[in-house]
Chain A
Amino acid sequence: MKRTIPLAIVLIMGITMMVQFFVPHPVSVGFYDLTTKWIRIVGAFALVLGTGSFIMFHSDKVRRRRQGWYYSIVSLIALVVTAVIGLGWGIRPGSILQNVIYASVLVPLNATMFAILAFYMASAAYRAFRARTREAALLLVAAFVVMLGMVPVGAAIWGKLPELAEWVLSVPNMAAKRAIIFGVALGGIATSLKVILGIERGWLGGGKQ
């Protein structure tokens, strides 16, 4: 029962949403809008489970004094403070949550993490561009052409270099991308079909029949 009902719901809803794609009637469009609202509501309920997991995980870490337990204290305090400010003073633009927590804490922290990406790119590029194999050598040459072609000094070295860089991006690179995208699209449809027909049941997790 625990598996049969979800499988039946997936089968019915999967086929219904497939049919909906071909039906432009307002009833069909309205149904689609309604289901997207349902997804948001289900997501909101799931957030409660997520919060529960978050509290359990970090409080257990503090209790057992595991490595980095003091970071867990910071995480738990941040959770409580954010929730209290949000519930007490609202979440509208101009509120404390918006001005202090979001604009002055979260945005700079996100920006910092994003900025670190530049350093990771440099270290990853160093490793990738060591031409140990034919493929790596090809990658190195292609990357060298594209990078030089995108900066003014490339055009100064050879006038045709920007054109060559553009060609590398728009022809061989695009061809490879499209090949991957075709596979992804078909794989996506096949996976959806397997889920709808109940062949792929991994998403059901545990539980008895």
Chain B
Amino acid sequence: MIALLILLLAAGQVAPLDSGVPALAPPPAPPGAVRAFDTPNDAGKSINVRWSAADKLAETWLVERTEPDSVKVIASNKPGEMSYLDEDVRDGIPYAYRVAAVTAADTVWSEPSPAVTSSPQFFNLSRINILIAMAIFFVLVIYYIETAKKGKNLFVRRIAGLDAVEEAVGRATEMGKPIVYVPGLGSVADIATIASLNILGEVAKKTAQYDSALLVPNRDPIVYTVAREIVKESYTKAGRPDAFKPDSVFFVTSEQFAFAAAVDGLMVREKPATNFFLGMFWAESLVLAETGAQTGAIQIAGTDSVFQLPFFITACDYTLIGEELYAASAYLSREPLLLGSLKGQDYGKMVILLTLVIGSALLLLSRLPALGFFSHVLGFFSTR
């Protein structure tokens, strides 16, 4: 009886099977396929580490780097981030990497990756598509320049804004009023500024022939220096070096709105017959063009900024849209070499159009499961 009581009491000390204590969670599987490789197409000092997850248990990933003389944990990633870019390495030193799947209870390490060294590359393979496109375009331009050299007549479509240059300069002569030429607010490194300076040369030749006054306010000191020389040279070429006034080309200020205010003042005071706004413009485009319109001048504008074009189209009589600005010097001078490059540009656009059509078709086709491989072809067209 006593023995039975002892047994019962002892049984009371034994926990029942379903006592409410949680069973231990299984440990996460170690990360699989840890791959470390030198970052491609870079300047060195960088290694990419990538791995895969065998299950979804990991709450954090730890990345450990083994160097010749030390081992340290270098990163802690969130569950979804299964890659790490190590930019704290030295070129030529071998590094090995391990990754751990971490839960609250466990840390399970992967096998170390093979040792890898980083090195700088001499050619960015991801830009090979740009190189091919450039080569095609260069060949087209040079081919048409050579064609022009041989004396073949090249057709160039009419550009109303450029046809009006002669008329605009003539008008200024008749009225006895000056011409204001603003070569934009960009630096001499901007293509639009270079194009504008080329047009300035042609306009200055005409003003020299017609004996009109030319005023060229500048925002950039380098552009001012170049513009001054161009105008001087044009007057000399036109056989009127004596007519060139050194103070007709002048530097105003490098402040954007101060420049706009100064040119506005100039237009209001001088009441020019013709205004040219050709080059790079920003928010001041309408301030200049609208003031010029209110003074009653004929206005010829041109820019490659798509944001300023609507303002010029609204407020000016003629507007050179984008590439028409670049084409202007060829159009005005009719030099075969310059006209040849224009034809090259036109055919370059045709190539782009063709590429767009083919790319769109490939994109549509790659959406079909059977033709998914087209997405790899499309990848060639992306740039980094």
**Which residues from chain A sit less than 8 Å from chain B, CB to CB?**
18, 21-26, 29, 39, 42-43, 46-51, 53-54, 56-57, 60, 67-68, 71, 106, 109-110, 113-114, 116-117, 120-121, 123-125, 127-128, 177, 180-184, 186-195, 199-200, 202-207
> Does the CB pair B191–A188 fall under 8 Å?
yes
Instruction: Report B-chain residues with C-beta under 8 Å of the C-beta of A110.
Output: 255-258
B185 within 8 Å of A (CB atoms): no
Sampled A-B contacts (24; CB under 8 Å): A21-B130, A22-B130, A23-B123, A26-B44, A42-B222, A46-B224, A56-B247, A113-B258, A113-B260, A120-B287, A124-B314, A124-B315, A180-B321, A186-B349, A187-B322, A187-B323, A189-B134, A189-B348, A190-B137, A190-B341, A191-B195, A202-B194, A202-B197, A206-B236
Nearest 9 interchain pairs by C-beta: A205-B229, A50-B221, A206-B233, A187-B323, A187-B326, A183-B323, A113-B257, A202-B198, A50-B251
> Does the CB pair A199–B145 fall under 8 Å?
yes
B37 within 8 Å of A (CB atoms): no
Chain A, interface SS category: helix
Count of inter-chain pairs, beta carbons less than 8 A: 207
A48 to chain B minimum Cβ distance, whole angstroms, is 8
- The segment from B8-16, B56-64, B304-312 found at the interface with A is B304-312
Instruction: Report A-chain residues with C-beta under 8 Å of the C-beta of B131.
Output: 22
Instruction: Report B-chain residues with C-beta under 8 Å of the C-beta of A188.
Output: 191, 304, 326
> Does the CB pair B122–A23 fall under 8 Å?
yes
A113 to chain B minimum Cβ distance, whole angstroms, is 4
Instruction: Report A-chain residues with C-beta under 8 Å of the C-beta of B173.
Output: none
Q: Which of A110, A125, A199 is most buried by chain B, counting CB atoms within 10 A of its CB?
A: A199
> Does the CB pair B286–A120 fall under 8 Å?
yes
Known: A183-B322, A186-B323. A68 touches B286 (CB 8 A): no
**Which residues from chain B sit less than 8 Å from chain A, CB to CB?**
41-44, 120-124, 127, 130-131, 134, 137-138, 141, 145, 187-189, 191, 194-195, 197-198, 200-201, 218, 220-222, 224-226, 228-230, 232-233, 236, 247, 250-258, 260-261, 265, 269, 283-284, 286-287, 289-291, 293-294, 304, 306, 309, 311, 313-315, 321-323, 325-327, 329, 337-338, 341-342, 344-345, 348-349, 352
A73 to chain B minimum Cβ distance, whole angstroms, is 14
Instruction: Report B-chain residues with C-beta under 8 Å of the C-beta of A121.
Output: 286
Complex CA gap A177/B322 in Å reads 10
A119 to chain B minimum Cβ distance, whole angstroms, is 9
Instruction: Report A-chain residues with C-beta under 8 Å of the C-beta of B337.
Output: 199
> Does the CB pair A192–B251 fall under 8 Å?
no
Known: A180-B322, A184-B322, A205-B229. A190 touches B344 (CB 8 A): yes
A177 to chain B minimum Cβ distance, whole angstroms, is 5
> Does the CB pair B198–A106 fall under 8 Å?
no
> Does the CB pair A22–B341 fall under 8 Å?
no
> Does the CB pair A53–B251 fall under 8 Å?
yes
Known: A110-B256, A120-B290, A206-B233. A186 touches B188 (CB 8 A): no
Instruction: Report A-chain residues with C-beta under 8 Å of the C-beta of B194.
Output: 191, 195, 200, 202-203
